[in-house]
Structure 1
Amino acid sequence: MPDLKFSVSAQALSPAKTEVKTRKFSFIIDEPKELGGTNEAANPVEYLLGSLAGCINVVGHLVAKEQNITLSNLKVEISGNLNPEKLFGKATEDRTGYKEISVKLYPETDASPEVLSKWIEEIEKRCPINDNITNSTPVKVSVGADTASTTTA
């Protein structure tokens, strides 16, 4: 199967609020009021956790079907702690992102703990978001050629 390409475009609605468009969908990313936003939507690091939960759900059900596991439902709880000091330009030894992400799965199934262990192992291997979080992915940031020019008086 050839590579699939996914993309988004985003437009700042304010310094802390962004509208993101992908395919025929759009969504808002915003910060809580204490971080300068209007608290109208999840913030970027919450969307990261949400995308991991969504990916685990899809892959978890796919793998369960392949492994003949009856999965009636799946609840995913994810949390992580990060230190915002570097984000705000302060010196810290902590990294900018999450220090650790904890994932708890609550599958409704009659599968044994041994079977669920193999199921989780396969989810961890096959979830693209998990892969992107746990492995270094090159990110290249540049200024686009169609950047609006600025004028001086």
Structure 2
Amino acid sequence: MTLLNDQLPVIADVTADERAQRLAEAGATWRDRIARDAANAELTYRVTGRGIGSVGTEIRSGKHRFLVDEPAALAGDDAAASPVEYALGSLISCQVVVFRLYAQALGLTIDDIEITAEGDIDVRKLFGIDESGRAGFHDVRVRVDITGPNTAEEYDSLRAVVEEHCPVLDLFANRVPVTGSLA
């Protein structure tokens, strides 16, 4: 069981024309909003988590709920993907969005896109065995497979644009100030 309701929600497939229209409309809407008031560009996301099971978490984000857990070897119940797997999934899903957004903006066509992300973690810091290393990923590799009518060079240029504009890749690549408090 990975989702609380035992089923993945269905996302209807759309045609290339429908996708292009939705992307163009979203871009135009945001440009207009920001042109009216630059403060409209600032968004705040809020997500809440509640500990369940051994080390699991029920995450709530708006109307959405999902589980996060760890495999048994890391004290979990293996009921869902782990936090670091979700982090890689977040990177992949953000990349898909930004690839589609900028392909549309640049007049490129993506017939199909599949992304694989792998990340390496040394668990010694996690378990307090060695404090000298990082607790998180020390290496992440992203492979993007795109099919479509454009040239490999055009898709490679698109990849460079995506790497400059992907919010989650920015989280991975740059230090972000984080403040914490105990209530």
Normalising by structure 2, we get a TM-score of 0.76
Q: Is 2:118 the counterpart of 1:79?
A: yes
Residue of structure 1 aligned with 2:69, choices 19, 25, 30: 30
Identity %: 31
- Can you give the 5+ residue segments of structure 2 that lack an aligned partner in the other structure? 1-33, 35-39
Query: What is the CA distance between 1:92 and its match in structure 2?
Result: 4.8
Is 1:59 equivalent to 2:98 in the alignment? Answer: yes
The CA deviation string for residues 25-74 of structure 1, in whole angstroms up to 9 with x for no partner, is 01100000111001010010000000000000000001111111111110
Which residue type is aligned with residue 169 of structure 2?
N
Alignment partner of 1:21 out of 52, 60, 64: 60
Query: What is the alpha-carbon distance in structure 2 between the residues aligned to residue 93 and residue 105 of structure 1?
Result: 33
**Corresponding residue for residue 176 of structure 2:** 137
Aligned residue type for 1:99:
H
**Dislocated runs of 4+, deviation >3 Å:** none
Tell me the equivalent position of 2:152.
113
Structure 1 or 2: more helix by fraction: 2
Task: Give the alignment's Cα RMSD to 1 decimal.
Answer: 1.1
What CA distance in whole angstroms lies between the structure 1 residues aligned with 2:68 and 2:168?
19
CA drift of 1:109 comes to 1.3
Query: For 1:74-132, what per-residue CA distance to the aligned partner results, in whole angstroms no more than 9, with x for missing partners?
Result: 00000011001101111153211111110000001122222112101111111100011
Task: Determine the structure 2 residue equivalent to 1:149.
Answer: none
| Residues 94 and 168 in structure 2, CA contact (< 8 A), matched pair in contact too | yes
CA distance in 2, matches of 1:103, 1:91: 28
Task: Tell me how far 1:15 sits from its aligned partner.
Answer: 4.1
Q: How many residues align?
A: 144
Cα distance in 1 for partners of 2:122, 2:131 equals 9
Please state whether the residue corresponding to 2:141 is helix, strand or coil: strand
